[in-house]
Amino acid sequence: DVKVTQSSRYLVKRTGEKVFLECVQDMDHENMFWYRQDPGLGLRLIYFSYDVKMKEKGDIPEGYSVSREKKERFSLILESASTNQTSMYLCASNREYYQPQHFGDGTRLSIL
């Protein structure tokens, strides 16, 4: 089975801090994704990557950046955390864009 592992289940940070969310997948998938999930808004795509060192903006990239130095690892960076970035963050991966995505269990991030 595909395993997508997010480094933290819960995280509390302060406004202005630089925050790193890490995600690792073990199935050699080309594509990796970062979403945020908010009640009533569903999953919104922040960034995705289709290859090492390649990245593309999703629907809500402002205030975020990403890094993919190795195929199995995709990091989401909040450059200067703000309270409106308090949310559930989900990482996912797949091999082809049209295939179902495999999700991690999420990181619930609170910015105080």
Partner 1 sequence: TQLLEQSPQFLSIQEGENLTVYCNSSSVFSSLQWYRQEPGEGPVLLVTVVTGGEVKKLKRLTFQFGDARKDSSLHITAAQTGDTGLYLCAGVEEYGNKLVFGAGTILRVKS
Binding site for partner 1 (CB under 8 A): 4, 9, 35, 40-45, 58-59, 90, 92, 97-98, 100-106
Beta carbon of residue 43, minimum distance to partner 1 (angstroms, whole number): 4
What does residue 13 show for φ and ψ, rounded to 5 degrees?
A: -130, 170
Beta carbon of residue 65, minimum distance to partner 1 (angstroms, whole number): 19
Of the pair 42, 84, the CB lying nearest partner 1 is at: 42
Of the pair 15, 52, the CB lying nearest partner 1 is at: 52
Of the pair 81, 106, the CB lying nearest partner 1 is at: 106
Other CB atoms within 10 Å distance of the CB of residue 104: 21
Beta carbon of residue 33, minimum distance to partner 1 (angstroms, whole number): 8
Beta carbon of residue 80, minimum distance to partner 1 (angstroms, whole number): 27
CB burial string 13-25: b at 16+ within 10 A, e below: beeeeebebbbbb
